[in-house]
Amino acid sequence: MKNRAFVFVFIFALTLINISCAPERAIHEDVIDKGPSVTVRPLPMADRITVAIARFSNETHYGSGLFRDEYGDRIGKQASDSLARQLLATQRFIVVERQDIDRLQAEAELMGEEIDQFRSQLKGVDALILGSVVELGRETTGKSWMVGASKTQRARARVVLRMVDPHSGEVFYATDGSGDATLTSKNTLGFGGQAGFDSTLEGKAIEAAIVNMMNNVTATLETHGRASQTR
């Protein structure tokens, strides 16, 4: 009986250690304001700026092979889709499609529309958006002590954007944004394990950079809006 009691206590103690030393996995996004839509007042539809993302590309050497396939630039597409979502979230823009316009044209042809009819129905824009991921990288650091070890994976990104008048080609606004995401794992006395390679960190860092960039855009719009109201 004493042996059984000892085994029970030993197993119970190991369970407590395992729970207390479970891997610590926390994603940190370098975004003070999680949503750009809360930083400004929404505009009525009639007052919103109509924009189109003409191009958003990955201009870094990072992922030039791993993240590119026969369909093109994956990182650039991911950033473009994220930017479109953030533009809509501000409720200050009307976003029209340009990057995948050939798919829209193909669908219109399936519905029996002529190309001239399709083009005549396209909505014009007030500005074209050109942007790119200009910095993207990751690093892994770690440390160990007598009874444990930790590992931290960190991805960082910087994106730039410019708005262009489609009639004159004039660049009338430019900004950028940076962001990072980290994942930390710890183990003690052999419990807790180690976090494997997390391929989603780059996406989280790009998302954070775009949100920060959009906060710059909306802050500028808000400043101009207030200035116009005081005139």
Q: For the ranges 20-24, 72-76, 144-148, which has the lowest average pLDDT?
A: 20-24
Tell me the residue length of the chain: 231
- Residue 192 predicted with pLDDT over 70: no
Q: What is the pLDDT of residues 148-180, one digit of tens each?
A: 667 788 899 999 999 999 999 999 999 999 998
Q: What is the pLDDT of residues 107-140, one digit of tens each?
A: 888 888 888 888 888 899 999 999 999 999 888 8
The angle formed by the CA atoms of residues 190, 193 and 194, to the nearest 5 degrees, is: 125
pLDDT of residue 126: 95
> How is residue 230 written in tokens?
């005081």
Mean pLDDT (whole number) for 88-94:
91
Query: Cα–Cα distance between 187 and 170 in angstroms, integer?
Result: 55
Mean pLDDT (whole number) for 208-224:
85
Residue 99: helix, strand or coil by DSSP? coil
pLDDT of residue 213: 92
Query: Cα–Cα distance between 89 and 215 in angstroms, integer?
Result: 11
**How does the average pLDDT of the chain come out, rounded?**
75
pLDDT of residue 28: 44
Query: Cα–Cα distance between 166 and 105 in angstroms, integer?
Result: 21
- Residue 25 predicted with pLDDT over 70: no
Query: Cα–Cα distance between 206 and 161 in angstroms, integer?
Result: 13
8: confidence class by pLDDT, cuts 50, 70, 90: low
Q: What domains can you pick out in the chain, each with its CATH number?
A: 23-229 (3.40.50)
- Residue 106 predicted with pLDDT over 50: yes
- Residue 196 predicted with pLDDT over 50: no
Query: Cα–Cα distance between 83 and 103 in angstroms, integer?
Result: 20
Q: Which of the given ranges, 21-25, 60-64, 129-133, has the highest pLDDT on average?
A: 129-133
DSSP one-letter string for 198-213: -TTHHHHHHHHHHHHH
188: confidence class by pLDDT, cuts 50, 70, 90: low
182: confidence class by pLDDT, cuts 50, 70, 90: confident
Mean pLDDT (whole number) for 99-103:
87
pLDDT of residue 200: 78
